[in-house]
Amino acid sequence: MTLKGLIYLITVIITILALESLNISGIFKKNRYYTSRVLYLIVAMALSYLVTNFLYDIFENTKFL
């Protein structure tokens, strides 16, 4: 596994743990549990992608690799 893949895996876990504190089900209609879970997963993947690329660029530019 590459370093970027390892960073991505770590940030996905941290992002999911952080997003658990949000109640996004409240903005959807009743009985729309799966719709809110899909949005939750999309937001988690997007945030972890952005954080991974940010951290990888920092490591790359400061020669930590």
Decide if 12 contacts 48 (C-beta within 8 A).
Answer: yes
31 to each of 12, 13, 62, how far by Cα in Å?
Answer: 27, 27, 49
pLDDT of 20 > 90? The answer is no
21 to each of 24, 25, 64, 65, how far by Cα in Å?
Answer: 9, 12, 33, 33
Strand segments, DSSP code E, in the chain are none
Structure tokens at 20: 């658990």
Q: Which of the two residues, 37 and 25, has the higher pLDDT score?
A: 37
Instruction: Report if pTM > 0.85.
Output: no
Could you state, in order of their start, the residue ranges of all structural domains in the chain? 3-61
pLDDT value, residue 49:
93
pLDDT value, residue 65:
54
